[in-house]
Amino acid sequence: MKAFRLIAVTAVMILASSVVRADGLDGRVNVNGGGPGSPPCGSMQFFADANGDFTVDCTTTVNTPTITFASLDSQTNGGLSCLSQLTSIGWKETTGSANGVDTCTFTAPSKSTDEFFSFSSSFSDTEGSDGDCDLDDFTFGIAKGCDVKLTTSLAFVPGAVGDLSVNGAGLLPFPEPASLGLLATGLATLFLGRRRSKNFRPEI
């Protein structure tokens, strides 16, 4: 009977942790650029803290015109929304949802092939980085050596999983909540069964 109660409590806790809070606020991330000094960018996976907040950054090793953030829809408190200062300098935001994963991608504008534009941009800071990693260095991508920064303005579920990829690198696979729940239940059952068999003494 105790084993059944423990399994039932475990199952309720797992289900409760995956339930979306009905507060009407989506999880929101802020995707921006900034100063250097972090691990190199590529494809990375990370977890929200106990408050449901992400604080992640990585340093670009090449010019980075595409940034994608992804999270499980069930951990976004009703759907993913994204925000970025990069849209003020011409970056485009696209969002999507497939197979229970929500994504937002920010893409820098392409460099113009117009000769006049090329000539005039040679006098400005927008063509290349001047090394200070501020917004005007990010017109055509996060400049090499600068950071991609990701923070949270509206919380996700505590412990939520997030993916960040740059320049079209593949997203890392997300753990499946149902599989994790089954694994936890199976381990609890094995542990209880083993304890019970140690305490069982056959009568002769």
Mean pLDDT on 146-157? 90
pLDDT tier for residue 31 given thresholds of 50, 70 and 90: confident
Mean pLDDT on 23-36? 63
At 120 the pLDDT is: 45
8 phi, psi to nearest 5 deg:
-65, -45
* Residue-wise pLDDT tens digits, 117-128: 554 454 444 445
What is the rounded CA–CA span in Å between residue 184 and residue 77?
Answer: 24
Residue 172 CB partners (closer than 8 Å, separation 6+)? 43, 44, 45, 163
Residue 58 CB partners (closer than 8 Å, separation 6+)? 38, 39, 40, 41, 42, 44, 147, 148, 164, 166
| β-sheet bridge partners, residue 76 | none
pLDDT tier for residue 198 given thresholds of 50, 70 and 90: low
Q: Which residue has the higher pLDDT, 98 or 124?
A: 98
81-101 in b/e form (b: 16+ CB < 10 A) is bbbbebeebebeeeeeeeeeb
> Cβ(104)–Cβ(95) under 8 Å?
yes
At 128 the pLDDT is: 53
At 19 the pLDDT is: 35
> Cβ(90)–Cβ(112) under 8 Å?
no
Rg (CA), the chain: 23
pLDDT tier for residue 186 given thresholds of 50, 70 and 90: low
* Residue-wise pLDDT tens digits, 54-97: 999 899 999 999 999 999 999 998 889 899 999 999 999 999 99
The tokens for 122 are 């040679």
